[in-house]
């Protein structure tokens, strides 16, 4: 499909259709080792200090780049390098959830913690190979829409394993709830089995040493490698600062109740789904660079809604408008950003490069909290949210500076540089 054209019917194919259920399977375990697990521990009367320790369970998600090279190097003896790992890790996640279901948190909190860490490790591994599969399967013109569909599946899974699991636990208990989630993971294997083989199949690294070192060497051999890194780190930075203390601002700064904030944030989830889907559709017309620039501007401008909210005070209408607009534009930006990361991966090392690049982007979310608090203490909420717009500008400048190197249709970034003899790109 040429940039500037749009035909939704031509985009409906098996590659895109499987992205929603695969995204769902990828996102399902996350809440089960974080918020839902905390709810279970609280209901069972586990003390707060122990619950606090359980927050470390999610650490594997931030460290997954450390073992991503293994998933690039090792090829399972079934279904190939990507789908083979997908089946194996899904079944292992299901088994881990079953172990959690069989453990009494009051009698054996240590064992439950160990099983939760195991599930988090396996789920992070599942994310690694799913990211690689999505990148190796979608055609360049499909990446924006494919990323949007995937993100929507992932977020729907967060609702199912979060709010859905909490509601289910009231009726059938926590053990049966976790067993039900394990059963869904097993059923998800069927989706992998009917999913198409990757479009771009490159030869796996010949050694673990190559799998660790070659992805970095290949990436930094590119003339604009530092520019790519600048875009990865800076593109969502304004969003990261704006969201770092958002709940504290709404409840502590403006006096909204937890119920009011929870309700509008629930609406915000659906706004994000809409934004991601609309952004993916627009990318089929506009291409990667123009979408990054347009959505980046919209992301930045949307933060002004919180400036207005800070000025008008506790106004439910202004609150709803600010949160919805921010989430719609944030969803659009996320679709473009995921498409960008996919376009920068070499198919030989997709798992490793995607894990590394996405981890770099996460640095903004991880470290924005403390600087944000310092800035608020110094200038107040109104000026803080205005400054988040300024923080977003370097990311837009970075995109503009290397715009000629970013469009995959123009320069072949993200296309396989080494293909297996019988695995040339094919349309499925």
Cα of first residue to Cα of last residue in the chain, in angstroms, is: 15
Place of tokens 């803080």: 384
Predicted local distance difference test score (pLDDT) of residue 8: 55
Predicted local distance difference test score (pLDDT) of residue 411: 40
Q: For residue 202, what are the β-bridge partners?
A: 419
Cα dihedral sign, 393-395-396-402: positive
- Residue boundaries of the structural domains of the chain: 7-199, 206-420
Three-state SS sequence of 260-315: HHHHHHHHHHHHHHHHHHHHHHHHHHHHHHHHHHHHHHHHHHHCHHHHHHHHHCCC
Residues in the chain with pLDDT values less than 50: 1-5, 409-428
Q: Is 187 helix (H, G, I), strand (E, B) or coil?
A: helix
Cα–Cα distance between 282 and 387 in angstroms, integer? 28
CATH (residue range 7-199): 1.20.1250.20
Q: Which residues contact 393 (CB under 8 A, 6 or more apart)?
A: 238, 300
Predicted local distance difference test score (pLDDT) of residue 160: 87
- For 206-420, give the CATH class: mainly alpha
Cα–Cα distance between 119 and 58 in angstroms, integer? 10
Contacts by residues 422-428 (CB-CB < 8 Å, ≥ 24 positions apart): 423/200, 423/201, 423/202, 425/199, 425/200, 426/199, 427/139, 427/199, 428/13, 428/14, 428/15, 428/196, 428/197, 428/199
Cα–Cα distance between 268 and 323 in angstroms, integer? 6
Predicted local distance difference test score (pLDDT) of residue 63: 83
Q: Which two tokens stand for residue 87?
A: 């089946």
Contact between 63 and 128 (Cβ < 8 Å): no
Q: Is the fold of 7-199 the same as that of 206-420? A: yes
Q: Which two tokens stand for residue 45?
A: 């009367």
């Amino acid at each position: 499909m040429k940039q500037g054209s749009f035909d939704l019917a031509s985009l409906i194919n098996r590659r895109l259709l499987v992205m929603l259920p695969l995204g769902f399977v990828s996102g399902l375990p996350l809440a089960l080792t974080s918020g839902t697990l905390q709810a279970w521990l609280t209901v069972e009367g586990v003390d707060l200090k122990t619950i606090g320790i359980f927050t470390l369970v999610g650490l594997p998600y931030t460290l997954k780049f450390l073992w991503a090279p293994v998933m690039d190097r090792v090829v399972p003896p079934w279904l190939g390098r990507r789908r083979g790992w997908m089946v194996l890790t899904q079944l292992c996640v299901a088994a881990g959830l079953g172990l959690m279901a069989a453990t009494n948190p009051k009698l054996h909190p240590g064992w439950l913690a160990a099983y939760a860490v195991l599930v988090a490790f396996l789920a992070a591994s599942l994310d690694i190979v799913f990211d690689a599969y999505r990148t190796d399967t979608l055609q360049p013109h499909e990446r924006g829409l494919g990323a949007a569909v995937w993100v929507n599946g992932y977020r729907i899974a967060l609702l199912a394993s979060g709010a859905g699991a909490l509601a289910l636990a009231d009726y059938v208990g926590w053990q049966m709830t976790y067993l039900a989630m394990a059963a869904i993971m097993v059923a998800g294997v069927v989706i992998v089995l009917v999913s198409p083989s990757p479009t771009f199949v490159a030869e796996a690294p010949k050694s673990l040493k190559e799998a660790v070192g070659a992805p970095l060497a290949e990436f930094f051999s590119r003339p604009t490698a530092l520019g790519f890194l600048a875009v990865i780190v800076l593109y969502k930075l304004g969003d990261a600062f704006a969201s770092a203390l958002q709940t504290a601002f709404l409840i502590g700064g403006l006096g909204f109740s937890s119920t009011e904030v929870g309700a509008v944030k629930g609406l915000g989830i659906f706004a994000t789904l809409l934004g991601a889907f609309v952004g993916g559709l627009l990318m089929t017309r506009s291409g990667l660079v123009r979408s990054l620039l347009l959505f980046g501007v919209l992301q930045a401008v949307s933060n002004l809604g919180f400036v207005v909210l800070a000025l008008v005070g506790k106004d439910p209408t202004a609150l709803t408008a600010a949160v919805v607009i921010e989430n719609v534009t944030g969803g659009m930006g996320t679709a473009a950003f995921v498409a960008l990361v996919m376009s920068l991966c070499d198919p030989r090392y997709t798992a490793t490069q995607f894990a590394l690049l996405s981890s770099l982007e996460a640095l903004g979310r991880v470290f924005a909290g403390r600087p944000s608090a310092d800035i608020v203490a110094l200038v107040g909420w109104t000026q803080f949210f205005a400054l988040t717009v300024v923080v977003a500008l370097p990311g837009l400048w970075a995109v503009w500076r290397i715009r000629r190197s970013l469009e995959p249709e123009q320069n072949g970034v993200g296309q396989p540089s080494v293909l297996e003899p019988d695995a040339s790109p094919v349309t499925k």
